[in-house]
Amino acid sequence: MSGTKASFSDGVNFYHYLCPPKVADLPPSELHILTEQGTQFGGGLESGSYLQVENNGYALSDDAEGRSNKNTEMLRKSTLAKLRILGAIGELAHKFNTFHLNIDIGAALPFDEYLSDQTDLMQQLASTQSFRYRGRVIELEPKAVKVLPEGAGLVQWRKMQAMQQGQAHQKSYIVAIVGHRDLTFLIFRQGKPPTGEPSGTVKLGFLEYLQSIAQGVCKPDNPYLYDALLRNAESVSFPDQPGKEYSLLERQPKAEAYYWEQVRHHLSEKFASLNIPHYEVLVGGGTAHTLLRNHLDSYLNGLPGADVNWLSEMNQEVSSVLNVAEPADQARFADCYGGAKWMAIKFGESVPAANSASSSSNRKKPAGTSA
């Protein structure tokens, strides 16, 4: 499941937000229509995820459906990061009816984009003083603004846990995340963040598996195929191919074997370049924890010097703190939550709980948004 995942802390409680990562341009004519609808019939801009930044309008999340939308399956995530982050902050403001935010902002980018685009994104976010969301003006006072590589949240959480348990926290960590779009491999030598190769991100996530299973049948992003896979259906059919039914029982094992071989080959090249005798592997991402779990567990436990950590305690914390019930979703939110918790501790201060907010005069200092 691809999506914009965000975790907020007000110094007392944590909250989470998840939405599709789609963004669509909203032309002035449609903005005018939505404004008029709100005036005459109710609803309008307030009824959907509509963002206005400077003189431009955008439809986000489900409201981008049916429009010529952009998403990060093909684009660089940094291209839409600012808009998606402001949309998540807008939802926070809308939910708690508070429209003046004194806020720390954190974001995560794929490693290669982190190296090239982090400074520009931080400047964009730090310079944003106001925007409109759901027709309301939201004023920002950005304080700390941080951009981390995807996967750093897992390491920050693990280091905090090690310190609390009296363990050595400056040891070396390897982060292996397999998500919806990307496979991320990061090396934190003695706990220090990576600066280049062999750390990196490649497009070997769940989408690669979908491309294999959809070959000769449909496009990889076909919603009927995705729904059939989620339901563990034995077959799938499509409205534009009446009378045809495709067996998934035959396709899935072959597609999974082919996909795993690609992942295994990539990881083998990365691990072969290591010169660290002992390290802890932090495994993250929804695809790693579901489709590839058995493959990865067998492979990683066969590596000399590797201590494999599936972060079960972190997932339990995500479940209890963010109220995320599904184990796969806990794994998907883990990196975001780890980064938000680190920011809340490093930059946070005691503030009223967000669920006590009732007016726009209340100032909040939430932290931690993951693009």
| Count of helix runs (H) and strand runs (E) in the chain | 11, 17
The CATH number assigned to the domain holding 95 equals 3.30.420
The CATH number assigned to the domain holding 237 equals 3.30.420.40
Q: Do both 145 and 27 map to the same domain?
A: yes
Q: How confident is the model at residue 362 (pLDDT cuts 50, 70, 90)?
A: very low
Task: Work out the percent of the chain whose per-residue pLDDT is above 90.
Answer: 74
For the whole model, what pTM was predicted?
A: 0.90
Q: Is residue 58 part of a domain?
A: yes
Two structure tokens written together for 302: 């066969």
Whole-number Cα distances in Å, 76 to 49, 79, 80, 299, 349: 22, 5, 8, 30, 34
What pLDDT is stored for residue 350 in this prediction?
42
pLDDT at 347 over 90: no
Query: 117: phi > 0 → left, psi -120 to 50 → alpha, else beta; which?
Result: alpha
What pLDDT is stored for residue 69 in this prediction?
73
Are the beta carbons of 185 and 198 closer than 8 angstroms?
yes
Q: How confident is the model at residue 357 (pLDDT cuts 50, 70, 90)?
A: very low
Tens digits of residue pLDDT in 60-86: 998 888 788 776 667 899 999 999 999
Instruction: Determine the distance from the C-alpha atom of residue 95 to the mean position of all C-alpha atoms in its chain, rounded to a whole number.
Output: 20
Residue predicted with more confidence, 216 or 267? 267
Q: Do both 40 and 118 map to the same domain?
A: yes
Q: Do both 82 and 204 map to the same domain?
A: no
Structural domain total, the chain: 2
pLDDT at 28 over 80: yes
Two structure tokens written together for 346: 């490093």
Q: Is residue 248 part of a domain?
A: yes
Q: Is residue 96 part of a domain?
A: yes
Q: Do both 239 and 212 map to the same domain?
A: yes
Q: Do both 200 and 136 map to the same domain?
A: no
Neighbours of 102 (CB within 10 A): 15
Question: What is the domain range of residue 63?
Answer: 4-149+335-369
Q: Do both 342 and 312 map to the same domain?
A: no
Are the beta carbons of 253 and 266 closer than 8 angstroms?
no
Q: Do both 129 and 222 map to the same domain?
A: no
Instruction: Determine the distance from the C-alpha atom of residue 330 to the mean position of all C-alpha atoms in its chain, rounded to a whole number.
Output: 12
E-strand spans in the chain?
A: 4-9, 14-19, 23-26, 50-53, 56-60, 69-70, 100-109, 130-133, 136-149, 173-178, 183-188, 200-202, 235-236, 246-247, 279-284, 306-309, 367-369
**Positive/negative CA dihedral, 15, 91, 348, 313:** positive
Are the beta carbons of 103 and 366 closer than 8 angstroms?
yes
Tens digits of residue pLDDT in 118-129: 999 999 999 999
Q: Diameter of the chain by CA atoms?
A: 69
pLDDT at 24 over 50: yes
Q: Is residue 326 part of a domain?
A: no
